[in-house]
């Protein structure tokens, strides 16, 4: 039995879903709304504990000790009374190392850490005390979990955001990376392989920690909405930007999931750009009516890929300066990608009796100042 406290919280919800996806179904949950006997009953059954419950933005400072230190001490007491020596992973905060005597939150987190550490020392149970930096990702709460959550919530709703100190350096960790590490720790401990930091007073995350200025984070998130109109997407090869974009999309209001594209239509069918990127080219959807021939041109530097997903088509090539023609018959039943090389005149013909739909990728986004398209028939 796996006990997860704080099951309704940001990290708790993500961890439970990850454990479920990994095949762990015997999970007992505890939230602040549950009566005390639920915690006691779960501790009696538990073989492993993820202690994620805590308070970080209470209405009264008194709640810091109640929700962090006192709850953890009750958890440890329940485990000891049940005669348990089960492993415990606790999520604490990097603020726990604060020496500010007025930082009640930090003090409450340190006291919670001490309770778990003492339980490990007394019983010999493996314990891991993670001091977490700013965690962000799906299902986080604006104005509660992190600045990223607040920025994503507001920007996705055209609301203003406030950046008090743009130069402030932030340390961020993505929720999926966190729960992956937690699940791996549980697996390792269950197999008798103690992860690095197990049994120590605090443990550093092994998963990627991202560092960026607060102003940069805000500007990056603010850039996402206008990308729809430009048919763009962020740089997916930048791990932080990719994770911020995923988080931003998770905050979209339900009436903003979809957006329309501009269809360029004529008597031949239509051509619609779908995505434009500065470094990965352009994706488009081409619809051709029966019997229609499109193309009849060639490119100097731009290369393309054609994929017919509906209907029947004929793709024809001829190398510039040569007479030999190469024919490729394609259809939506046997998906086949055809590369369109530079220096080859090409066209695509709808050979069927229904509209033919072709996905087209070009290595360069179309630039009207430099179209790189020269008319010539195959």
Count of C-beta atoms within a 10 Å radius of residue 293: 15
- Could you list the beta-strand ranges (E) of the chain: 2-5, 27-30, 48-51, 88-93, 127-132, 134-136, 169-174, 210-213, 264-266, 269-277, 281-288, 293-298, 304-310, 312-319, 325-331, 337-340, 344-350, 356-362, 374-375
**Tokens found for residue 115:** 């309770």
Count of C-beta atoms within a 10 Å radius of residue 140: 24
Tell me which residue has tokens 């059954």: 45
Bridge partners of 266, per DSSP, are 269
Q: How far is CA 310 from CA 266, 335, 351, in A?
A: 19, 9, 12
Q: How far apart are CA 79 and CA 42, in angstroms?
A: 9
Establish whether 117 is a catalytic residue: no
Q: How far apart are CA 225 and CA 233, in angstroms?
A: 10
Q: What is the DSSP string of 243-290?
A: HHHHHHHHT--GGGS------EEETTEEEEEEEEETTTEEEEEEEE-T
Q: How far apart are CA 174 and CA 134, in angstroms?
A: 9
Catalytic hit among 24, 30, 105, 117: 105
* Helix or strand (DSSP H, E) at 166: none
Q: How far apart are CA 182 and CA 206, in angstroms?
A: 10
Query: Quick one: which of 233, 241, 246 has its CA closest to 176?
Result: 246
State the catalytic residues: 105
């Amino acid at each position: 039995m796996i006990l997860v406290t704080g099951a309704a919280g940001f990290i708790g919800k993500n961890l439970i879903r990850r454990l479920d996806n990994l095949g762990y179904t015997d999970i007992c949950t505890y939230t602040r709304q549950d009566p005390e006997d639920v915690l006691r009953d779960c501790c009696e059954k538990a073989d492993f504990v993820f202690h994620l419950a805590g308070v970080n933005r209470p209405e009264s400072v008194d709640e810091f000790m109640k929700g962090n230190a006192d709850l953890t001490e009750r958890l440890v007491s329940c485990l000891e009374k049940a005669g348990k020596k089960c492993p415990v992973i606790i999520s604490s905060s990097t603020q726990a190392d604060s020496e500010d005597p007025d930082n009640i939150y930090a003090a409450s987190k340190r006291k919670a850490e001490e309770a778990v550490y003492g339980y490990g020392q007394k019983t010999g149970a493996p314990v891991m005390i993670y001091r977490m930096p700013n965690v962000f990702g799906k299902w986080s709460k604006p104005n509660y979990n992190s600045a990223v959550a607040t920025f994503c919530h507001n920007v996705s709703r055209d609301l203003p955001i406030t950046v008090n100190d743009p130069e402030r350096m932030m340390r961020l960790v993505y929720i999926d990376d966190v729960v992956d590490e937690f699940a791996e720790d549980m697996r390792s401990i269950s197999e008798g392989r103690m992860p690095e930091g197990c049994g120590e007073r605090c443990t550093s995350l092994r998963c990627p920690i991202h560092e960026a200025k607060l102003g940069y984070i805000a500007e990056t998130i603010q850039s996402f909405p206008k990308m729809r109109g430009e048919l763009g997407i962020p740089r997916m090869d930048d791990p932080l930007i990719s994770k911020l974009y995923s988080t931003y999309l998770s905050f979209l209001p339900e009436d903003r999931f979809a957006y329309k594209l501009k269809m360029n239509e004529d008597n031949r069918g239509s051509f619609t750009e779908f995505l434009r990127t500065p470094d990965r080219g352009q994706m488009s959807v081409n619809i051709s009516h029966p019997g229609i021939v499109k193309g009849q041109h060639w490119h100097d530097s731009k290369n393309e890929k054609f994929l017919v997903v509906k209907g029947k088509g004929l793709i024809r090539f001829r190398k510039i300066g040569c007479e030999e023609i190469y024919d490729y018959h394609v259809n939506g039943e046997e998906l086949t990608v055809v590369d369109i090389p530079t220096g080859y005149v090409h066209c695509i013909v709808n050979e069927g009796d229904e509209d033919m739909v072709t996905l087209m990728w070009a290595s360069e986004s179309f630039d009207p100042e430099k179209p790189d398209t020269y008319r010539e028939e195959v």
